[in-house]
Each structure stands twice: as structure tokens, then as C-alpha cells.
């Protein structure tokens, strides 16, 4: 089972990958990062994407169980991933589920013209399942 560095390097092998990181959505800290950072700064990117992830994770209207399920302490978000598109890129955020209180997500930055969003979603889901934190 791959750790953080191995998972991020695997993500960078996807067509069009520009950068990848593992972010804690509670603290906004990047736990690991490879490749280019959107805007040139992984720490700023981690903090900004964590705000988005935290908002979605804590939103009752976006979870299958409603507001009550989203408010349960220690419960990972029911949202699997988020996709933000820009004129030239995709940002894919994949929440990582673990047996303990998981508050992390994988962030993959793909070039829109040479990236394959469908393939990236499938591969990132597999990486999130195999990722070993510790």
C-alpha cells in the first residue's frame, strides 16, 4: 500500500498532470506536494482548496444523509470528489476515507488540453482507497 509520496508521484503520471498534493481540510496544510503549484505556492493553494473542501464537507445539502449526517463528529464527508474547471485546467479534489477520522483530500491539477478528467477521476479514486496515512 502506497504512502503519501508514492501516491502523489503516481498521480503525476496521469496525462496532463501539472501538480498534485495531499491536503488536510481542517488545518489547510499540505501534507505533501509534487509538481507545479497553481499560483506558484503549494501552501497558499492548500489553504484555499481546504476552504472549499471544508465548506462542501460540512454542507448538509450536498451529503446523502443531509445536515445531520454532515454534522456528526469524526464522520468523513459523503461527497467523493469536487471538480473545478478553468479555461485551461481542471482541479480535482478527492476526499480520502479511512477507518479513523479522515480530514484529507488529494488535489490533482490537470491541464485541460492534454488531461483526461474521466481517467483522472477513476485513478484518483483508486489512489485514495490504497493510500496509507501514518
Least confident span in 34-38, 40-44, 62-66, 109-113: 62-66
Q: Residue 20 sits in which domain range?
A: 4-130
Calculated CA dihedral for residues 44, 45, 50, 52, nearest 10 degrees: 120
CA distance 42 to 31: 10
Which of 38, 37, 34, 17 is closest to 115 using CA atoms?
Answer: 17
Which of 107, 112, 114 is closest to 90 using CA atoms?
Answer: 112
Which residues on adjacent β-strands are paired with residue 25? none
pLDDT range class, residue 77, cuts 50, 70, 90:
low
pLDDT digits (tens, 9 = 90+) for 15-54: 999 999 999 999 999 999 999 999 999 999 999 999 999 9
pLDDT range class, residue 72, cuts 50, 70, 90:
low
Q: What is the CATH number of the domain that holds 76?
A: 3.30.450.30
For 81-107, what is the mean pLDDT? 90
| Number of domains composing the chain | 1
CA distance 83 to 33: 19
Q: What is the pLDDT of residue 101?
A: 67
Task: Report the residue count for the chain.
Answer: 134
126 or 74: which leads in pLDDT: 126
Average pLDDT, the chain: 86
Q: What is the pLDDT of residue 117?
A: 95
pLDDT(3) > 70: yes
Backbone angles phi, psi at 20, to 5 degrees: -150, 145
Amino acid at each position: 500500500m502506497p504512502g503519501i509520496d508514492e501516491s502523489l508521484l503516481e498521480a503525476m503520471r496521469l496525462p496532463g498532470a501539472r501538480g498534485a498534493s495531499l491536503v488536510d481540510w481542517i488545518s489547510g496544510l499540505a501534507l505533501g506536494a509534487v509538481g507545479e503549484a497553481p499560483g506558484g505556492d503549494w501552501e497558499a493553494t492548500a489553504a484555499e482548496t481546504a476552504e472549499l473542501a471544508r465548506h462542501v464537507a460540512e454542507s448538509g445539502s450536498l451529503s446523502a444523509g443531509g445536515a445531520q449526517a454532515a454534522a456528526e463528529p469524526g464522520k468523513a464527508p459523503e461527497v467523493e470528489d469536487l471538480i473545478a474547471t478553468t479555461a485551461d485546467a481542471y482541479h480535482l479534489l478527492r476526499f480520502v476515507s479511512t477507518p479513523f477520522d479522515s480530514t484529507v483530500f488529494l488535489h490533482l491539477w490537470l491541464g485541460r488540453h492534454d488531461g483526461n478528467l474521466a481517467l483522472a477521476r477513476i485513478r484518483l479514486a483508486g489512489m485514495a482507497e490504497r493510500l496509507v496515512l501514518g
